[in-house]
Structure 1
Amino acid sequence: MLQKTNIEIINQLIDLLTDIDSDVYRDSLRPLHYSTVGQHVRHITEFYQCLLKSQANGLVNYDARERNINIEVDKNFTIELLEVIKKQLDNLKTDYPLSLKTEFAAEQVTAVPSSFYRELIYLIEHTIHHLAIIKIGLNEMYPEIKIPQNFGVAHSTIRFRVIG
């Protein structure tokens, strides 16, 4: 189920990338302090890559991203990469223990216990957060681009809107 939810969110992102021009993907957006859609998409994509690499050694470190500039500037390359990530997620059917490594200033945390499923939950929220940021930037700079109403909206918020 967690893989399916992540795949659905990645599909939302792929749909957006398919609909926007490459120039829009690379444009510095003033409301986002001149970051680009591509930079946010790279950030999202590389978090998934970090988690998927954890299969090999049971360690996930989101700080150790590759920071591949091609993801930032080439939306077609990125769409292909996201399709690969979806397939990899779909092929992983069981949870496994992980250690989460991160660094804050000089303090390094190296052995925070986690699991693949726990990190999938984190990536759902992380990705939705960045989709919301992308939506703000595009709505301000490119209001002619139609973005689905629930793009970048947390599942709990969608449920609340329906119920409330």
Structure 2
Amino acid sequence: MSINALINDNIATLREADALLGFLSAHHYGAVGPHLRHIVDHYRCLLTGLTCGQVDYDARERCRETELSVAKARRVISQLQDELRDIEADGDRPLPVRLATDAGGTSSVSQSSLARELQFVQGHAVHHFALIRSTLTALGSQLPDSFGKAPATLRHERASA
């Protein structure tokens, strides 16, 4: 898969988040805002890592306003989509990733690539979409059948129908 296809798939995933925000009430956003903030934090860490040469998913901004404000979350998602569109890098480009391995501050650095990290942040977003789906369903919201399901799950469901 080309880097452009991965970028476009990530933009589509963020578009799903924006579409969700387009119909959520402030009350319902309060229940799922932390998940959306967490998703955008991971995208921000990846994009920052491209600039500085190392991704650090523990260096998340944790912006409370993004957690609480639909408008702020939508602005951030739009910015992330724009930044993803502007990526001009080789998907196989080595990209070190730092991650804490315990609460005491120990961390390790692993070699990865832009393509692999785009796969990670997209899968991570879909995982949180599933949690969002569960929460919003419990609150009485109806969501598109595909929201919060991994592409492999959607293919399996289509093949099994």
1:66-116 CA-to-partner distances (Å, cap 9, x unmatched) read 111011001101101100100111111432321110112147343300111
User: In structure 2, the residue corresponding to 1:16 is in which secondary structure?
Assistant: helix
Displacement of 1:43 after TM fit? 0.2
Alignment correspondent of 1:22: 26
1:23-58 CA-to-partner distances (Å, cap 9, x unmatched) read 2111xxxxxxxxx31100000000000000012221
Cα distance in structure 2, aligned partners of 1:23 and 1:140: 13
Q: Which amino acid aligns with 2:106?
A: Q
Alignment correspondent of 2:48: 53
Structure 1 alignment gaps of length 5 or more: 27-35
Q: Which amino acid aligns with 2:44?
A: Q
Displacement of 1:162 after TM fit? 1.3
Alignment correspondent of 1:101: 98
Counterpart check, 1:146 vs 2:142: yes
Alignment correspondent of 1:132: 130
RMSD of the TM alignment (CA)? 1.2
- The match for 1:118 among 106, 116, 119 is 116
User: In structure 2, the residue corresponding to 1:63 is in which secondary structure?
Assistant: coil
- Which is worse superposed, 110-119 or 92-101? 92-101
Alignment correspondent of 1:7: 11
1:115-144 CA-to-partner distances (Å, cap 9, x unmatched) read 111100001110000000000000012x2x
Is the 8 Å Cα contact of residues 128 and 148 (structure 2) preserved in structure 1? yes
Is the 8 Å Cα contact of residues 99 and 110 (structure 1) preserved in structure 2? no
- Compute the TM-score of the two structures, normalised by the length of structure 1: 0.89
Displacement of 1:18 after TM fit? 0.8
- Which is worse superposed, 110-119 or 100-109? 100-109
Cα distance in structure 1, aligned partners of 2:35 and 2:157: 27
Is the 8 Å Cα contact of residues 129 and 152 (structure 1) preserved in structure 2? yes
User: In structure 1, the residue corresponding to 2:144 is in which secondary structure?
Assistant: coil
Structure 2 alignment gaps of length 5 or more: none
Alignment correspondent of 2:156: 160
- The match for 2:39 among 44, 50, 74 is 44
Cα distance in structure 2, aligned partners of 1:52 and 1:97: 14
Cα distance in structure 2, aligned partners of 1:130 and 1:111: 24
Cα distance in structure 1, aligned partners of 2:109 and 2:72: 34
Is the 8 Å Cα contact of residues 58 and 97 (structure 1) preserved in structure 2? no
- Compute the TM-score of the two structures, normalised by the length of structure 2: 0.90
